Structure 1
Amino acid sequence: MTAAPHTTDPHAADPHAIDPRTADPAAADPLLVRLGLLRDRVTELVGRRSATDPTAGDPLRGLYLSEEAVRHLLSTGRDDDRSAPPASDPPSGDEDDRPGLLAARLGLGTLDLAILLIALAPDIDRDFEPLYGYLNDDVGRRRATVGLAVELCGLPPHDVSARARFHPSAPLSVLGLMAVEEAERPFLSRSLRVPDRVVAHLLGDDTPDVRIAPYTRLLPADPARSALPVTGPPVARLAERLSAGRLTAYLREDRDGDALAYAVAALDAAGLEALHFAPGTGTGSDSESGPAGSGAGSTAPDPLPALLREARLRGCALVVAPLPQHPEPLVRALASADDVSVLLAGARPYDPQWCDSDPLVLDAPRQRAGDLDVWSAALGVPEAPETLGFDLARVVAPYRLGGERIRRTARAALDLAAFEGTPLSAGHLRLAARQQSASGLEQHARRIRPEVGWQDLVLPEQPLAQLHELALRARHRDRVLGDWRLSAGGGRGRGALALFAGDSGTGKTLSAEVVAAELGLDLYVVQLSSVVDKYIGETEKNLERIFAEADRTDAVLLFDEADAVFGKRSEVTSSNDRYANLESAYLLQRLESFDGIVLLTTNLRANIDEAFTRRLDLIVDFPFPDADQRLALWRHSLSHVPCADDVEPARCAKEFELSGGSIRSAVVTAAYAAAGRGSPVTTADLLAGARREYRKAGRLVLDDSGGW
C-alpha cells in the first residue's frame, strides 16, 4: 500500500467517476448520495491522519511498525480525529431511497444506518478499500472494522452505547443486516460484513436469496382478488388484524389448501404481499437436517434467518404451509420475530408445546366446490361465463379447489386449448382440474381415467335415475348440507355415499366409471390386497391413509367387493371377532366424517352391515337383465364390430340368459374368431361365444350335435 492520498477530493482515485453531490438531484441515486457524504468523511479523516503521521509517505506502511511510528503512537492520541457524526439522512420522501425506507420500516436509528453504510461501502465502491486499509493501519484490512466505524461516527471507542450497536443482540445483527466477524480478534479490530442480499436490495435488486429461492414464492397483493377464494366476515377480520400490525396466527384446515386460500384472501384484502415458504418441499425439515436445526445431525444451512431477512427487506408477511412433521423449532423461531407477520397453516390441532408464546389459532373456512365467480374470473369471463359455450357451473361443481389452484387450472385449460388450436371446452377444464387433484392415492388404489358415458349403460329406468341423482348430490352437497344447514352435525362430513348391489356382470363397476366421468373426476378402485392385513390394527391404518388422501383430492373412491371390509359385525366369541368388530366400527366413524365420494359394490347385499346401509345416501340395485335388455346389450357391444349382414343377436339374447359382463366377453370371443378368419362376425360366432360363457359358469348348454 502506498501513502494515503493528500487530497480532500474523494473521487481523485477515479477521474471518470460521477460525483453524486454535483449530479442532478432528481436523477441522483439516494444510496450514492449517502456514500458520497461518507466518502467526504473518510477523506477528511485520512487527511487529518496523514498530516501528522510521519510514516504517511512510507510505501510499506501497514506492513510493519517502525520506531518512528511507535513514537508517534505514544505521543499522540486519536481524540483529535473525532468530530460530529457524518450526515446520513438524505432528503426524505424519496421512494427510491431504499436505505431510508429500510431504516424507517425496521426502526433503525441514525447511528445504525450510518454503521450499515460504513460497512457496505467497499461492496459498492472499490475506492473505499485502500482508504479503509490506510485507516485500519493494515493493507490487508480493506473492510470496515468496529473501531473504524465508531471513529467515522465521531464517537469514542469506549462509548458503551456505541459498542452496543455491534452486540449480537443489536438491531443490525438480529435483523440479519450486518455480521461482526473474526470473534478471535480484539473487539475494535473485528471486521464488519453486510450480506450480499442486503447490498443487492439497497441497490434495487429483489432477487431472493439462493438458500430459500427453491422453497419460496412471492404472493403479490391483489386487492381485486380478495373476495374470490374465500368470502365472509372471517377474511375481513383477519385482514383487519394484519393491517393493524404484526400478527402470528395458526390456521387449521380440514382439507389441504383451505388454509392457504384463506391466508391469501386475507392478505389480498389487507393489500399485503407475502412470501409462501414450503418447508416440506426439500429443506429437510422432516428429517435430521430441519430448517430450524432441530436434528442433532443437521448439516444443511438453516434457511430461517435468510427467510426472515427477506421478509424484512420486502416489508411483507410470511405464509408457511404445509408445516413440517416436527414444527416446534420452526414455530418458535418464527414466533420470536416481533417485526414480521407470520401465518402458519396445517391440518393438525395446535399444540401448546410448539411455542411458549401462543399464536392466534383460527379454523380456516372450508373451500366451496364450484364457486362460479372464482372460475369465471380465472378464465377471463367474470361478467359473462355463458360465452364459453358450455355450462361452466355444471362442469366445475364437483371440484373443491382453492383460489390459487383454480387459477392454475384455468391457465392449464387455456394452454391445452391453445395447443390443440380449438376453443376452450369442458373437456379441457376437466382434464386440467384432474391434474390439480393428483394425489398419492395410486399407492393404495388403481386409477381409472373414465372413458365412458351414459350411452354405455343399459339399465332399467329406476337404477338409471338413481345414478343421475347420485351425480346431482355430488354436485350440490356444499349448498344443501352447508348453506342450507342440512348436515346432521356431530362432525359429519359432506360426502356422497352409495352402494351398488347386484349379481356379477350387471354393470356396477361400469356405472361407477360413468358417474366419475359425469363429474369429471378420476375413479380410484381400492385394492383390497393393499388394505387388508393379518396384523391387528394395520387394516385400519391402511384405510385411514386412503381416506386421508382421498379427502385431499377430488376423486371417486370405489370399494369393489365391499363386503370384504364392510361386512356385518358378529357376537364376540373370540379375540378375532372382537378385532373384526373394531375394524367395522372404525369404518362407520370414518365414513361419517368423509367429505368425498365413496361407492361400494357387492354381489351379496345381505352381507353388508345394517349400520353401513343407514349411513348411505343411495342404494342402487342392479337387476339381472331381461330379454329386451340383453338384446340392447348385445347390440351395444357389437356397435363398433364388423358384422355379417345376416347376424342375429336377438337369437343369442333369447336363448342365453347372460349378464352384461358375460355378453361383452362373448362378443370378444366372437370377434377374435372372426379376426382370425379375416371376415365379419357371424351369428355362429356369437353363439359359440355365448356357449363359452355358459360353460365358464358351469351351466349346461347344447352343442352343435344337439347333446348337452
Structure 2
Amino acid sequence: MTTYASATSDALLVRLARLRDRVAELVLSRSAVDPTADDPLRGLYLSDEAVRHLLGPTAVPYADVFENAAGFEAATGSEDAAVPGGTSVSESTSVSGGMESAPAARLERLAVRLELTELDTRILLIALAPDLDRSFEPLYGYLNDDVSRRRATTGLALDLCGLPAHLAEARARFHPSAPLTALGLLTVEEPERPFLSRSLRVPDRLVAHLLGDDTPDAALAGSLHQLDSPTSLPLPSPSPSHDEFTARLAARLAVGPRTVYLREHREGDGLVCAAAALRAAGVGALHFTPAAAGEPLPELLSDVLPRVLREARLRDRAIVVSPLPDKPGPLLRALTEAGVPVVLVGARPYDPQWCERDPLVLDAPRPHAGAVDAWSVALGAGADGPGFDLAATVAPYRLGGDRIERAARAARDLAMFDGTPVTAAHLRLAARQQSASGLERHARRIRPDVGWEDLVLPDRPLAQLHELALRARHRDQVLGDWRLSAGGGRGHGVLGLFAGESGTGKTLSAEVVAAELGLDLYVVQLSSIVDKYVGETEKNLERIFTEADRTDAVLLFDEADAVFGKRSEVRDSHDKHANMESAYLLQRLESFDGIALLTTNLRANIDEAFTRRLDLVVDFPFPDAEQRRALWRHSLAHVPCAEDIEPAAVARAFEMAGGSIRSAVVTAAYAAAGRGAPVTTADLREGAAREYRKAGRLVPGEGNW
C-alpha cells in the first residue's frame, strides 16, 4: 500500500482521497432517493453492490495511508497535510527517476502562478481524477446516469463542488474566456450537448506535469526547445554599454510578463542577447521557431501556439520567438496577451501595424569581434594558451556564444582527425563553417588557398595590403570602442579599391587578404546584379549587402567600374536611373559593416564620391623586369624544369603581367607533359609568344626562335 502511494505521490493522493469522500456522499445521497435502485436492469450500468465495492476499503488503496482524510470542502492542498508516521507531505513526497517531487505542490504552485481560484483548482482536480485512478470512471458513470460517460461533466463538477447549476458565476468557470480553458488547462468537450452534460478533459501534458514529468509536448518536437545560454562561456562584453543594456533588459524581464521586440543586425545576435539577459534575470526560457512547426499561420495560431503557451506556463518559462514569420502581426498580437514574458527576435524594423499594444522595442547590441576569453574557455586552453595567437586568429569572427562552442568543438574534431593539436588553421576552418551564408546565390565562393608568399609586389602595395588586413581585425576597437566612426549611421566596414592593369594580381591579392583573415572570398557576379528593369539592380545589390553584413566573409566586386562608375549629366532617363543606382550604392557603402574590395582596370572610371569613402586605394603597377623574373620563378616553383632553363631571359624579352606569365607557364607545362620531358626555355618562350598573340601584340624576334 505504501509503495503505491509513494509511486503516485502522497500529496496528490490526499486530495484524491478527499474527493473520493465527496463522491461517496453524492452516490449515497442519490441512491437513497433513486426509484430505480432496485430495478433489475440497473446492473446494465452499475449495481449498488458494485458501488459499495468501489467505495469499500478493499478497493481504496488510500485507506491504509490516509485514515483521517478531511472532506472535500476542506481540501486546500496544504503541503503540510499529515500522513502516517508523523511526516508531512512536503517531507515525504518524492518520485523516483529524478523527476520533481510533490505533484500536489506543483498543482498549488501552478494555481498561485496562474491566479486560479480555489474553485478552479477543485474543478481541475475533479476533471483530473479519472486520469489518475481508474476507479473514478465507473463512479462518474454512475453519477452521470450513463455508464459510457466515464469522465466528469460540467454538471457533475458543480454537484461535487456543492454549487447550484443555475448559478451564473459557477457556470462562468467553464466559459472559453475563463482561466481554466483560456490557459489550456481544461477542455470542455461536446459543445453540441446541453451545458450540464458536456465532458471535461484535462490535457495529457498537464497530467504528466503534475506527476513530475517535464517532457515537452510531443506535438512541439522540432519547433520548441529549451533555450540554454552557454553557461560554460563568459558572456561577450565588448563595452560597458553592452553590459548596461543586458542588465537593463534583465531587470525588465525579471519583474513580470512583458513583450519585448529585439531587432538584430545579424542573424543570431538577438538570440544571444536575449539568452544573456534571461540568464542574468534568472528566468528560464523556451525557444520557439514558428517555421519549424510546418503549419500555416491559422493552424499555427489555433493549435500550435496554445500548446507553446501552455508549456511555458507549466514550466514557468519565458518564450523567445525567432525567426519571425513573414507576417508577424497575428502572432505578436496573440503573444502580447499571453501573460508570460515574451522576447521576439527579428531583423526587420518594428511596424506599429503589427499590434495595437506595442511591445518594448529595442535594438540588440552588435557583438564584438574576437571574444578571446570565450574562445579560450571553449577550446579548453590552459594557462599557456592554445599554442598560437588566439586573439589574431579569432579577431575577424562575430559569433555568438553557442556558435563559439560549436566552432571550438568542430576545431577539436578536425585536429583529432589530423592527429595533431588544435591549430589556427583548424579554428579558422571551423569558424567559417559556422558563418553560413546566402551569398552563394549571388556570388562565387572561393576558399582561399594562397598566402603572402604567393604575392610578387613592390613594397608599397604589399604594405597597404597588410594594413588592410590590420584594419579588418581592429575596426570594432578603433571605430566602435574608441568612437572614431564618422557617425550618421555609418557602419564599421572596411572598403578597399585595387586598381591596375589586367593580370597585375588584384584578385589574387584579395584572396590573400581573405586567407590572412581566415575568411571566405565571395566574388560578385555582375551578371547577377545588373538588370535592365528600373530598380532591380538596387534590389539585387541590397540582397548582397544584407547577406554580407550577416556573414564573416570578404566581398569582391571584380571589374567594379561596371557598377561603381562615374555619374554623368542627365540627358535622358537612362542617365537618371544610372545616377540613382550610384546614389544608392554611396548610401549603402556608408552603412556597410563587412569587408568589401573593388577591383578595376581603369581607376579614372570610378566615381570620386566612391573613392572618398574607401579606406585604402592600392595601385598595382605593371611589373618591371626584376619582378617579371620573380613571377616566372614563382610560377615554375613546382614544375619539373630542365637544368639549363633561363626564365630570366624570357622575362627580359617579354613584358607581361603576372596573370599572363602564369598562363604562359601553363602552356609550357602542357607542352612538356606531352613530350614526357621537363620544361625548357623554348617551352617558356612559346608560351610567352602565345600570350602576346592572344593580346594582339607583336612577338619580339618573330621567326628567330
Paired with 1:508 and 1:19, the residues of 2 have a C-alpha distance of 79
Secondary structure in structure 2 of the residue aligned to 1:598: strand
Paired with 1:698 and 1:87, the residues of 2 have a C-alpha distance of 101
Paired with 1:134 and 1:229, the residues of 2 have a C-alpha distance of 66
Q: Which amino acid aligns with 2:112?
A: A
Deviates more, 1:652-661 or 1:461-470: 652-661
Other-structure match for 1:72: none
TM-superposed deviation, 1:688? 1.2
Paired with 1:592 and 1:402, the residues of 2 have a C-alpha distance of 25
Other-structure match for 2:534: 536
Residues 184 and 553 (structure 1), Cα distance of their counterparts in 2 relative to 1, 3 Å cut: same
Q: Which has the higher helix share?
A: 2
Other-structure match for 1:113: 121
Secondary structure in structure 2 of the residue aligned to 1:446: strand
Other-structure match for 2:168: 160
Paired with 2:615 and 2:630, the residues of 1 have a C-alpha distance of 30
TM-superposed deviation, 1:347? 2.1
Other-structure match for 1:364: 364
TM-superposed deviation, 1:59? 6.9
Other-structure match for 2:475: 477
TM-superposed deviation, 1:371? 1.5
Residue 198 of structure 1, aligned match among 199, 206, 223 = 206
Note the 1:109-148 alignment, pairs <5 A. 109-148=117-156
Other-structure match for 1:699: 697
Other-structure match for 1:35: 16
TM-superposed deviation, 1:229? 6.2
TM-superposed deviation, 1:155? 2.3
Q: Given that residues 265 and 550 in structure 2 are in contact (C-alpha distance below 8 angstroms), is that contact kept between their aligned partners in structure 1?
A: no
Residues 681 and 290 (structure 1), Cα distance of their counterparts in 2 relative to 1, 3 Å cut: farther
Matched, 1:579 2:597: no
Other-structure match for 2:300: 291
Other-structure match for 2:63: none
The RMSD of aligned alpha carbons is 2.4
Other-structure match for 1:228: 236
Paired with 1:461 and 1:238, the residues of 2 have a C-alpha distance of 51
TM-superposed deviation, 1:54? 4.8
Q: Given that residues 233 and 377 in structure 2 are in contact (C-alpha distance below 8 angstroms), is that contact kept between their aligned partners in structure 1?
A: no
- Equivalenced residue count is 659
Deviations 1:326-374 (A, max 9, x none): 1110110000112x00111222222222111111111211111111122
Paired with 2:541 and 2:486, the residues of 1 have a C-alpha distance of 24
Deviates more, 1:149-158 or 1:363-372: 149-158
Note the 1:39-50 alignment, pairs <5 A. 39-50=20-31
Q: Given that residues 9 and 211 in structure 2 are in contact (C-alpha distance below 8 angstroms), is that contact kept between their aligned partners in structure 1?
A: no
Other-structure match for 2:96: none
Deviates more, 1:264-273 or 1:246-255: 246-255
Secondary structure in structure 2 of the residue aligned to 1:61: helix
Secondary structure in structure 2 of the residue aligned to 1:237: helix
Other-structure match for 1:89: 77
Other-structure match for 2:86: none
TM-superposed deviation, 1:632? 1.2
Residues 19 and 610 (structure 1), Cα distance of their counterparts in 2 relative to 1, 3 Å cut: closer
Paired with 1:704 and 1:327, the residues of 2 have a C-alpha distance of 72
Deviations 1:37-57 (A, max 9, x none): 323333443344335435346
Q: TM-score, normalised by structure 2?
A: 0.89
Q: Given that residues 471 and 519 in structure 1 are in contact (C-alpha distance below 8 angstroms), is that contact kept between their aligned partners in structure 2?
A: yes
Paired with 1:574 and 1:115, the residues of 2 have a C-alpha distance of 78
Q: Which amino acid aligns with 2:227?
A: L
Paired with 1:181 and 1:284, the residues of 2 have a C-alpha distance of 24
Paired with 1:252 and 1:671, the residues of 2 have a C-alpha distance of 56
Q: Which amino acid aligns with 2:486?
A: A
Matched, 1:247 2:261: no
TM-superposed deviation, 1:226? 7.0
Matched, 1:176 2:184: yes
Matched, 1:210 2:218: yes
After TM superposition, which residue ranges in structure 1, 4 or more long, deviate above 6 angstroms? Answer: 62-66, 221-224
Q: Given that residues 62 and 139 in structure 1 are in contact (C-alpha distance below 8 angstroms), is that contact kept between their aligned partners in structure 2?
A: no
TM-superposed deviation, 1:215? 1.6
Note the 1:348-497 alignment, pairs <5 A. 348-381=348-381, 384=383, 386-497=384-495
Q: Which amino acid aligns with 2:364?
A: A
Residues 284 and 615 (structure 1), Cα distance of their counterparts in 2 relative to 1, 3 Å cut: farther
Deviations 1:139-171 (A, max 9, x none): 110111011111222222223332221111111
Note the 1:273-284 alignment, pairs <5 A. 273-284=284-295
Q: Given that residues 165 and 172 in structure 1 are in contact (C-alpha distance below 8 angstroms), is that contact kept between their aligned partners in structure 2?
A: yes
Deviates more, 1:316-325 or 1:505-514: 316-325
Q: Which amino acid aligns with 1:360?
A: L
Q: Given that residues 468 and 616 in structure 2 are in contact (C-alpha distance below 8 angstroms), is that contact kept between their aligned partners in structure 1?
A: yes
Note the 1:676-691 alignment, pairs <5 A. 676-691=674-689
TM-superposed deviation, 1:289? 5.1
Deviations 1:557-602 (A, max 9, x none): 0000000000000111111111110110000000000000000000
Q: Which amino acid aligns with 2:184?
A: G
Residues 470 and 396 (structure 1), Cα distance of their counterparts in 2 relative to 1, 3 Å cut: same
Deviates more, 1:217-226 or 1:430-439: 217-226
Q: Mark the runs of 5 or more structure 1 residues left unpaired by the alignment.
A: 1-15, 67-82, 293-300
Deviates more, 1:111-120 or 1:268-277: 111-120
Q: Which amino acid aligns with 2:464?
A: Q
TM-superposed deviation, 1:236? 0.7
TM-superposed deviation, 1:494? 0.4
Other-structure match for 1:103: 111
Residues 553 and 56 (structure 1), Cα distance of their counterparts in 2 relative to 1, 3 Å cut: farther
Residues 282 and 160 (structure 1), Cα distance of their counterparts in 2 relative to 1, 3 Å cut: closer
Paired with 1:621 and 1:29, the residues of 2 have a C-alpha distance of 82
Deviates more, 1:369-378 or 1:171-180: 369-378
TM-superposed deviation, 1:416? 2.7
Q: Mark the runs of 5 or more structure 2 residues left unpaired by the alignment.
A: 48-70, 81-89, 92-100
Q: Which amino acid aligns with 1:291?
A: L
Other-structure match for 1:332: 333
Deviations 1:61-93 (A, max 9, x none): 386999xxxxxxxxxxxxxxxx86262414256
Q: Given that residues 34 and 90 in structure 1 are in contact (C-alpha distance below 8 angstroms), is that contact kept between their aligned partners in structure 2?
A: no
Paired with 1:441 and 1:134, the residues of 2 have a C-alpha distance of 68
Q: Which amino acid aligns with 2:547?
A: E
Paired with 2:388 and 2:620, the residues of 1 have a C-alpha distance of 32
Paired with 2:269 and 2:587, the residues of 1 have a C-alpha distance of 23
Residues 550 and 179 (structure 1), Cα distance of their counterparts in 2 relative to 1, 3 Å cut: same
Residues 646 and 353 (structure 1), Cα distance of their counterparts in 2 relative to 1, 3 Å cut: same
Residues 680 and 34 (structure 1), Cα distance of their counterparts in 2 relative to 1, 3 Å cut: farther
Other-structure match for 2:95: none
Secondary structure in structure 2 of the residue aligned to 1:262: helix
TM-superposed deviation, 1:499? 0.2
Q: Given that residues 502 and 621 in structure 1 are in contact (C-alpha distance below 8 angstroms), is that contact kept between their aligned partners in structure 2?
A: yes
Q: Given that residues 221 and 272 in structure 1 are in contact (C-alpha distance below 8 angstroms), is that contact kept between their aligned partners in structure 2?
A: no
Q: Given that residues 669 and 689 in structure 1 are in contact (C-alpha distance below 8 angstroms), is that contact kept between their aligned partners in structure 2?
A: yes
Secondary structure in structure 2 of the residue aligned to 1:630: helix
Q: Given that residues 62 and 134 in structure 1 are in contact (C-alpha distance below 8 angstroms), is that contact kept between their aligned partners in structure 2?
A: no
Secondary structure in structure 1 of the residue aligned to 2:427: helix
TM-superposed deviation, 1:703? 6.5
Deviates more, 1:494-503 or 1:39-48: 39-48
Residues 106 and 538 (structure 1), Cα distance of their counterparts in 2 relative to 1, 3 Å cut: same
Deviates more, 1:696-705 or 1:222-231: 222-231
Residue 602 of structure 1, aligned match among 600, 603, 622 = 600
Paired with 2:421 and 2:39, the residues of 1 have a C-alpha distance of 80
Paired with 1:207 and 1:564, the residues of 2 have a C-alpha distance of 58
Paired with 1:58 and 1:489, the residues of 2 have a C-alpha distance of 92
Paired with 1:441 and 1:587, the residues of 2 have a C-alpha distance of 18
